[in-house]
A and B are shown apart, each in its own frame.
Chain A
């Protein structure tokens, strides 16, 4: 404990934390509130700080039929699209980074360091920088409006490769040698020893990359044109900006609340492993 146990010492930290929580939580609460009123009340700013009566109707409408004027697809479809995209990106990133980090750390081959530095350099080139050539390639391959086009360009990951590399470098050399003597070749060593040891690191990465994938905006905006391929982040945006109709704020807010759930669930469910993966060094 840094502070002494005084009354002030107990109260002040709590006050500071509570203020912080309020600042973060109030907009979320407002979105939740807005999703329980009808369109007119929200539009007029007559919302109270207590929930309204339209909650079930709003959510039912948005999940199963959608805001017809703007997105033309039920949010259920968008949730599924977003979920698939985030899942494929997260799993793909982990799979490809594991393998490349394994190659870089445990094998000696010509241009090993060159390969490592090339991967490292791509950290400087996020999707936004290389967006035109990437779009061109994906379009030429006929991958527009497909899950492959949506996810493949985002799967290569220097960050994850670096993270796994750092982790692998802490695996004692003797463990590799013991495996060799125990008759485990490269594939067995990877499967039997390295993967089980990396589980917490993988979990931490999964959480981070799932949220990264879920929050993608620019890439899905470019690559998808069909309504049944749009992701929920795009959907929200479309609902808010309308040309000649009233923005159905209650529906947009309900969608936002729904969009919040999967990432929150992932974090909550994997929190234990996530924290372990970021701090644990036991080997």
Chain B
């Protein structure tokens, strides 16, 4: 077990494309960190640099206090689980798991013991003699994890390991990965573009965009206090609503149609008259029973029924807006007066997209 420390790590490809633009990050010992971001944000490149599969153009990567920039992947004391499993098709499950240990010269009985332990842990004991092609997707995924576990590495690296599985299996494997982590307590770095995976698995979420880190924090921090418009709209489903407004007092913002929303002056201190973007999550917007003169009104035109919730799509102050209601709520009609608790109203700078929180360096 070990911590992984990145110091202004950069990746510039031949041809000048800068995929990773100086990332500093500490992953404490035993921590499960998820690198989250849209495709092309550099998260996989970053993981591959930690693994040693991609050369590091600048900065340093250290694992367990040892700088590994020039260390071979096999010497870095890491194990990686790939998106398409990357099992050796001609080797049995046992050999797949044992191969790395054999190459390191681990004694035979030690290999047998470790493989047996991992197989028991992952419930793949009945398949040890089979070839990967005779296994289902979920079983292959387990073998791939088994191959990582038997190495007893300082850090596990996961490169979108669940994206090849069907939806049901993905939920199940997600849970198993988390359980496994709770048992092994190994430092893990997990790359995904799926916010649900990030929220459920992570101790620490790193939201990346365009080769940079947007925000680092616990899943709840990131959900409750997004540091930028990008994070706010990337996390949460459906995405956070953004409506432009103008600050009219120390705790009120006016929208384009003259309606008002209150925000928490203890959290935000924008200058009066400042143009801001007001963020409000669909599930945190409330329906008022009676229209008030200053309440924003949602003009609803489409309703989506999702079973547990109902999404009301429409426009609010001239901008697209979504409201999530429990399915059993009464039909609020077409014109819906909306309010929100001040603590749930987020303010973002129009130009930079950064949050206008008092401690904006979150």
Contacts and interface: CB of A to CB of B under 8 A. Distances in A.
A178 B157 CA distance: 12
Interface in A105-164: none
Interface residues of A, number: 17
B84 interface: yes
B88 A181 contact: no
B173 to A, nearest CB: 18
A180 B89 contact: no
B82 A282 contact: no
A183 B86 contact: no
A282 B100 contact: no
A183 B79 CA distance: 11
A100 interface: no
A45 interface: no
Given A175-B88, A196-B90, A282-B89, A181 B51 contact: yes
Interface in A179-222: 180-184, 188, 192-193, 196-197
A4 interface: no
Contact of A184 (B51, B87, B90, B103): B103
Contacts of B87: 178
Interface string B299-328: 000000000000000000000000000000
A50 to B, nearest CB: 52
Contact of B79 (A180, A181, A282): A181
State the main secondary structure of chain A at its contact with B.
helix
Contacts of A181: 51-53, 73-74, 78-80, 100
Contact of B104 (A180, A183, A192, A283): A183
Interface string B169-206: 00000000000000000000000000000000000000
Contacts of B100: 181-183
A177 interface: yes
B99 interface: yes
B133 interface: yes
Given A183-B74, A196-B90, A283-B89, A177 B103 contact: no
Given A180-B74, A282-B133, A174 B86 contact: yes
Contacts of A282: 89, 133
Contact of B84 (A172, A183, A193, A197): A172
B70 to A, nearest CB: 15
B103 A183 contact: yes
Nearest to B148: A181
Contacts of A188: 103
B111 to A, nearest CB: 13
A120 to B, nearest CB: 25
A196 B131 CA distance: 13
Interface residues of B, number: 24
B83 interface: yes
B239 to A, nearest CB: 32
A159 B265 CA distance: 75
Nearest to A177: B53
Contacts of B147: 178, 182
B159 to A, nearest CB: 9
Nearest to A196: B90
B99 A182 contact: yes
B90 A197 contact: yes
Nearest to B90: A196
A182 B87 CA distance: 11
Nearest to B82: A174
A86 B110 CA distance: 47
A177 B87 CA distance: 11
Contacts of B88: 175, 178, 192-193
A192 B99 contact: yes
A184 B100 CA distance: 8
Nearest to A175: B86
Contacts of B75: 183
A177 B86 CA distance: 8
B77 to A, nearest CB: 11
Interface in A41-92: none
Contacts of A193: 88, 90
Contacts of A177: 51, 53, 73, 80, 82, 86
Interface in B59-94: 72-75, 78-80, 82-84, 86-90
Nearest to A198: B90
Contacts of B99: 182, 184, 192
Interface centre among A174, A182, A188, A192 (most CB of B within 10 A): A182
Interface of A: 172, 174-175, 177-178, 180-184, 188, 192-193, 196-197, 282-283
30 contacts: A174-B83, A175-B86, A175-B88, A177-B53, A177-B73, A177-B82, A177-B86, A178-B80, A178-B86, A178-B88, A178-B147, A180-B72, A180-B74, A181-B51, A181-B53, A181-B73, A181-B100, A182-B74, A182-B103, A182-B147, A183-B75, A184-B74, A184-B99, A188-B103, A192-B88, A196-B90, A197-B89, A282-B89, A282-B133, A283-B89
Given A178-B88, A182-B100, A183-B103, 14 more contacts: A174-B82, A177-B73, A178-B82, A178-B87, A180-B52, A180-B72, A180-B73, A181-B52, A181-B78, A181-B100, A182-B99, A182-B103, A184-B74, A188-B103
- Which 8 A/B pairs are nearest by Cβ-Cβ distance? A183-B74, A182-B100, A174-B86, A183-B103, A178-B86, A196-B90, A174-B82, A180-B73
